[in-house]
Structure 1
Amino acid sequence: MHPKLSRVARRILCCGRNASGDDLTDERNGSIRWVFSLRELRSATNSFNYDNKIGEGPLGSVYWGQVWEGSQIAVKKLKDARNGTEVEFASEVETLGRVRHKNLLSLRGYCADGAERVLVYDYMPNSSLFAHLHGTHSSECLLDWRRRTFIAIGAARALTYLHHHVTPPIIHGSIKTTNVLLDSDFQAHVGDFGLLRLISNEMDHDKIIGDNQRGYHAPEYIMFGKPTTGCDVYSFGIILLELTSGRKPVEKSGAQKLYGIRNWMLPLAKEGRYDEIADSKLNDKYSESELKRVVLIGLACTQREPEKRPTMLEVVSLLKGESKEMLSRLENEELFRPDSTASSLGMSTPEGSSDCILKSEQGLAEA
């Protein structure tokens, strides 16, 4: 190991802002393996075998792996990483190493070997929110309403931490259901935060907002290519709409025309037809008041005008039902009036944007 690289790694472990030693400890084996060799990661992933691949996106491919002491890891090989030395890459990764929150995917280490730039994370045994809503686990119906509300609040807390409690704030820039990972208890862990700073400035913008991201990006990001906290709020709003309806951000309607989840849901919400919004896989086992609340928050987050969207701090408070006054104001906004046409089908958005039975508020209040 390069001596300077070693010093950077040690600095990451001891200088995390607002993080105790316990925060930086892997609960399963009592320590973090910060610097991994490429040889070790090849061994863990069977030489990055296709059978080990568990995900792929515009920023890189992810592989399941198992290290020598038996713990499981998720290994992300970055595409189009910034040119630079191993020390420069380690310095960039340092920020990610300092950021610790129970709802963020823990970064266990990295590898910078030659041209390879690899990040190593905790492995999440319950895969991603996408897999349970739309993918390989969707037919198993493991996400009841209580789990969905806990996932929503957990992911919201993670983004609140990035936006409001990290200095300087971190804009995620790639919020989507594939980046909401689920542990053995179905607790949400938001992954891929901070990766935009590791990617080359020359990476094609269209590649970042391509099919893998269709429906999640705010109109202003698609138009101008500059991510903001408001863009993250928009993307999170789309996730809330997915959680309530089970629909994808963009689906095909007649004549193969793409139709955004927001444009489908807003007229139903205005007319109070929330039973038509609810995911059929819930089998009517949900709190009507909670589902209505989550739908309203999701639609408020996905307003076309960034200044009208709530902050993530406000989103967490709304999801938990902590402010009845704020919720009442939200319900009475012009957006949700039956005679309102604002932000409805008439206002198109750029391609790529989208537009047990619980008898009480317990599901959200306890999260």
Structure 2
Amino acid sequence: MKLSLSLFFISLPFFPLVSSQQPQIANENTSFTFPSFTSLRNLTLLGDSYLRDGVIGLTKQVGVPSSSSGSIVFNNPIQFSHRDSNLTASFSTCFSFSVNNLNPASFGDGLAFFISPDNQTLGSPGGYLGLVNATQFTKNKFLAVEFDTRQDLHFDDPNENHVGLDIDSLTSVKTADVLTVGIDLKSGNLITAWIDYKHGEKKVLEVFLSYSSSKPVIPVLVVEIDLSDYLREFRYVGFSASTEGSTEIHLLESWSFSTFGLKAVRSRLPPHNVSDNSVVISPPMIPASGKDGDHHKRIGWGLGIAGPAFFCVFLGLFGYISVKKWKGMRMDKSLKAELVTGPRQFSYKELKLATKGFHASKIVGHGAFGTVYKAFFMSLGTMSAVKRSKHSHEGKTEFLAELSIIACLRHKNLVQLQGWCAEKGELLLVYEFMPNGSLDNVLYQESEQGFPLKWLYRYNIAVGLASVLTYLHQECEQQVIHRDIKTSNIMLDANFNARLGDFGLARLMDHDKSPVSTLTAGTMGYLAPEYLQYGKATEKTDVFSYGVVILELACGRRPIDKEIEGQRMVNLVDWVWGLHSLGRLVEAVDRRLNDEFSVEEAKMLLLVGLSCANPDSSERPTMRRVFQILNGEAEPMVVPKMKPTLSFSNHLLLSLEDIVSDCEEGQSPEHIFEINAV
């Protein structure tokens, strides 16, 4: 018995000790080649990047100027150094790319090869080259070689045709004009680039460019630099590109990469030495004779087997009770159990400090959910927007709705959710800060100060909003009906790209299910007639609201506004349709633009707006069709000269008290309702 129990307890740690003595072998040099891109095996596409005909496109291929950013990342991390040695890899990469433009007068911004500590490198469009977040310059860490096609004085660019080495910043360590070697990055011709880093006695990075597949003798860029501090252990490699209000196309046709200079490092933990004296061995037992000896032997064997079995049962019961108790403790946190685990949980103290105690000077807006504050996190050096809920049951309901919905959504035209907080009786959401505020503010208040929003941005906002609504309506696992699309819920990032936010009124539903009837919620002027009448939210009611927003973008007028001459309130949809019936549609375009807009684009935008705001929901296009029209991929819809009329029951199914409305100050809800219900 003594011997059996000793063997049992010795055996418990024995297996881990054996496994821990296996040799630890570090990865050797890495090498891969893509002669063309026939599939996405071992590759991840981010943002607007796509695979088509064996070529990777990094930015959107559209005939209409727009802003775009995209990345491609090799899935497996590359080892550039060893933790326990001073070895740092040298590397070499070769790739063929082309930069073209459908509109030669429109160019920018370029592409970059990068090495990053994470595989989610996707920054903002424009001069940020898809490497850096416009509002969080220090968020993305990277080592990159940029091929820049636009001069950005903010980053000290020498010209619009250069290469440069970037380290955690878009202000290059060193740049070189590629025209000196006869290369025009924007020529549309296939260009082959070689980037070599040698980590030897002389540590140097060199960049070569050629229109042929033959590597030149002389590099275009030479930087003597030790990159060992940046090439630490494992890193991801890939490409990114971006545009800002242009039609520049960035294509990648082939790519090879290799590291060298690393040796296989084999290390073994010190052997587990067990001396002859480290285990006490009992002297051999003298076998008993007769029945008593056999009886004692049987008892010894029984106890030897039963003892370990009993111990295992005890461990199982102890584990079961511990897990059950742990689950019970988690269930006590009722609200936190309702929340998703994806976004970060902020502390109330952290948010209070970042908003200076939720001071009135930090308020940047109000929404269906509550008040929005500007927050600065000193420890992170970042800016965010914090939504503070209404102190009510409805506030909690909307909080949970917004969190559960938007935490699962991923689209470049959605405001990114960064985290949440549920403390001190407060419900708070933390979002990416949008430096240009809401579309409502930019379209009206700033325009009144003499800075009308440029047409290029207006059209791009319409396209971006159509893209994200297509995603919500048709590309999500469950269809999302936003229910409160309006200019104050459309935020603008640093490059004036549309970001849809405020999901406090949104609802999820299966694609094959009928919309549920609910109390009408939303904002007057943006509500579809059938939604006002029956209270049924569908994707078509979102389309109607989108149509109103599009007309606002083109006309620079609110959904319910006063006549230019006079005091009578005018419905924007009716006003534009009236001009359309007279053949004077272009006269609806915002006069503050001073004719600085594309007439063809303006007509298209106005007609799309009217088709979406058609009183007959069956005649409204899907958001996918709208997106295709605005991108020139589908023919515009035919809009009747006269606005269609609908007849409803004289008895409204919902009272005005049931309608959530953010009416303008000084306007009567009844008066506005009367106009919209026509």
**Which one is further off, 239-248 or 107-116?**
107-116
Corresponding position of 1:74: 385
- DSSP 3-state at the match of 2:366: strand
1:311-343 Cα distance to aligned partner (Å, 9 max, x none) = 11011011112113xx2xx23x4x22xxx4524
- Separation in 2, partners of 1:106, 1:264: 36
Corresponding position of 1:321: 632
Corresponding position of 1:362: none
1:21-74 Cα distance to aligned partner (Å, 9 max, x none) = 628999432599711111111111111111111101332111111113221111
Corresponding position of 1:282: 593
Corresponding position of 1:342: 644
- Separation in 2, partners of 1:59, 1:218: 22
* Contact residue 171 and residue 193 of structure 1 kept, 8 A: no
- Separation in 2, partners of 1:197, 1:341: 30
- Give the one of 217, 223, 229 matched to 2:527: 217
Corresponding position of 1:135: 445
* Alpha-carbon distance, 1:100 to partner: 1.1
- Give the one of 172, 175, 178 matched to 2:488: 178
* Contact residue 262 and residue 354 of structure 1 kept, 8 A: no
* Contact residue 215 and residue 354 of structure 1 kept, 8 A: no
- DSSP 3-state at the match of 2:526: coil
Structure with greater helix percent: 1
- Give the one of 605, 610, 626 matched to 1:294: 605
Alignment of 1:120 with 2:433, yes or no, is no
Please tell me the residue identity of whatever aligns with 2:634.
Answer: S
Structure with greater strand percent: 2
Alignment of 1:52 with 2:362, yes or no, is yes
- DSSP 3-state at the match of 1:189: strand
Q: Structure 1 residues 235 and 101 mapped into 2: Cα distance closer, same or farther (>3 Å)?
A: same
- DSSP 3-state at the match of 1:135: helix
Corresponding position of 1:154: 464
1:66-88 Cα distance to aligned partner (Å, 9 max, x none) = 11322111111122455879xx9
- Give the one of 135, 144, 163 matched to 2:454: 144
- Separation in 2, partners of 1:289, 1:350: 34
Alignment of 1:261 with 2:563, yes or no, is no
Q: Structure 1 residues 354 and 123 mapped into 2: Cα distance closer, same or farther (>3 Å)?
A: farther
Q: Structure 1 residues 76 and 92 mapped into 2: Cα distance closer, same or farther (>3 Å)?
A: closer
Please tell me the residue identity of whatever aligns with 1:282.
Answer: L
* Alpha-carbon distance, 1:302 to partner: 0.6
Q: Structure 1 residues 258 and 81 mapped into 2: Cα distance closer, same or farther (>3 Å)?
A: farther
Alignment of 1:34 with 2:132, yes or no, is no
Q: Which fold has the larger relative contact order, with Cα–Cα distance below 8 Å and residues 6 or more apart in sequence?
A: 1
- Separation in 2, partners of 1:92, 1:123: 17
- Give the one of 213, 228, 231 matched to 2:538: 228
- DSSP 3-state at the match of 2:449: helix
- DSSP 3-state at the match of 2:361: helix
1:167-201 Cα distance to aligned partner (Å, 9 max, x none) = 11111111000111111111111111354459xxx
**TM-score, structure 1 length as denominator?**
0.76
5 Å matches for 1:245-260?
Answer: 245-253=555-563, 256-260=567-571
1:113-165 Cα distance to aligned partner (Å, 9 max, x none) = 24321111011111111112112454342521111111110111111111111
- Separation in 1, partners of 2:361, 2:447: 18
- Separation in 2, partners of 1:45, 1:106: 19
Please tell me the residue identity of whatever aligns with 1:182.
Answer: L
* Contact residue 223 and residue 350 of structure 1 kept, 8 A: no
Q: Structure 1 residues 194 and 165 mapped into 2: Cα distance closer, same or farther (>3 Å)?
A: farther
Q: Could you say what the CA RMSD is over the residues aligned between the two structures, in angstroms?
A: 3.3
Alignment of 1:309 with 2:623, yes or no, is no
- DSSP 3-state at the match of 2:437: coil
- DSSP 3-state at the match of 1:323: coil
Alignment of 1:188 with 2:498, yes or no, is yes
- Separation in 2, partners of 1:128, 1:73: 14
Please tell me the residue identity of whatever aligns with 2:577.
Answer: L
Alignment of 1:108 with 2:410, yes or no, is no
Q: Structure 1 residues 92 and 276 mapped into 2: Cα distance closer, same or farther (>3 Å)?
A: closer
- Separation in 2, partners of 1:341, 1:352: 14
Q: Structure 1 residues 287 and 187 mapped into 2: Cα distance closer, same or farther (>3 Å)?
A: same
* Alpha-carbon distance, 1:352 to partner: 7.4
* Contact residue 131 and residue 138 of structure 1 kept, 8 A: no
- Separation in 1, partners of 2:489, 2:395: 25
Q: Structure 1 residues 91 and 343 mapped into 2: Cα distance closer, same or farther (>3 Å)?
A: closer
* Alpha-carbon distance, 1:259 to partner: 1.6
- Separation in 2, partners of 1:223, 1:57: 24
- Separation in 1, partners of 2:454, 2:607: 20
Count of residue pairs brought into register by the alignment: 315
* Alpha-carbon distance, 1:224 to partner: 2.7
- Separation in 2, partners of 1:127, 1:163: 25
Q: Structure 1 residues 349 and 226 mapped into 2: Cα distance closer, same or farther (>3 Å)?
A: farther
* Alpha-carbon distance, 1:232 to partner: 0.7
- Separation in 1, partners of 2:461, 2:362: 26
Runs of 5+ in structure 1 lacking a partner? Answer: 1-17, 199-203, 356-367
Please tell me the residue identity of whatever aligns with 1:291.
Answer: A
Show structure 1 runs of 4+ deviating over 6 A.
18-21, 23-26, 88-92
* Alpha-carbon distance, 1:255 to partner: 7.8
Identity among equivalent positions (%) equals 37
**Which one is further off, 216-225 or 132-141?**
132-141
